[in-house]
Every structure is written in C-alpha cells, then in structure tokens.
Amino acid sequence: MIIAAKMLLAAMALLFYLPLYAGENQPASETENIKFQLENYSKANQEREREELRQEWKNLLGVDIFYPYYQAREIESWISDRVKVEVFHLSGRPEFENNQATYTFRVEF
C-alpha cells in the first residue's frame, strides 16, 4: 500500500514537473522560480487564449466583434503616451477607469 502511494506521488510529480532554472532576471530560490514560471506561463497562455477566442468569433460571425475594444485600448495607450507629465523627478501618466482619467505620479531616485 505504501509503495503504491509513493509510486502515485512520483507519477504525479512527473506529470506536473516544471523545470527549475535560475538565469538572468529570474529569481534564484526554487519557490520563487516556480512562482515566476507559473506567472509567465499564465500570462502567455491568457494572451494566446484571447487571440484564439477573438479569431474563432471572427471566423464564426465573419466580423471582428472585439475590434472596438482593442481600438479603445490602443487609443488609450496612444493618449497616455502623448499627455504624460514630467515635473522635476516626478513623472505622471493618465490611467483610464470608468470614463475618467487619473494621473499617477512616480518618483525617480
């Protein structure tokens, strides 16, 4: 019974294996490395899934229904790049939420 449980745990470990490596701009400890890899995997996976979903809807309907959303995001980023403010060591950019623009300032040391 104990041997079967150990074999099951070993098989599960192989199934969910994430290679651990520490390189440039990556955390050194194992737990931080696993968190870093999972975050990067999930971000890349989400982007790919969004693009696939957008393409499926476009193929199904013949029209890109997400086009206005992506255009609005592109316009927001274009506007925030053009209206950023720099005063001494403070730099601020607008952030758009609920049809309002609020400036967030950051200090450079």
pLDDT in tens, the chain (109 residues): 566 666 555 655 555 554 444 455 555 567 777 777 777 777 778 888 888 988 998 998 888 888 888 898 889 888 888 888 888 888 888 888 888 888 888 887 7
Reported pTM: 0.45
Across 60-79, b (16+ Cβ under 10 Å) vs e yields eeeeeeeeeeeeeeeeeeee
User: H or E segment at 3?
Assistant: helix 2-15
Q: Show the tokens assigned to 25.
A: 């701009």
What is the predicted pLDDT for the residue at 25? 54
Q: Show the tokens assigned to 28.
A: 């050194």
What is the predicted pLDDT for the residue at 13? 54
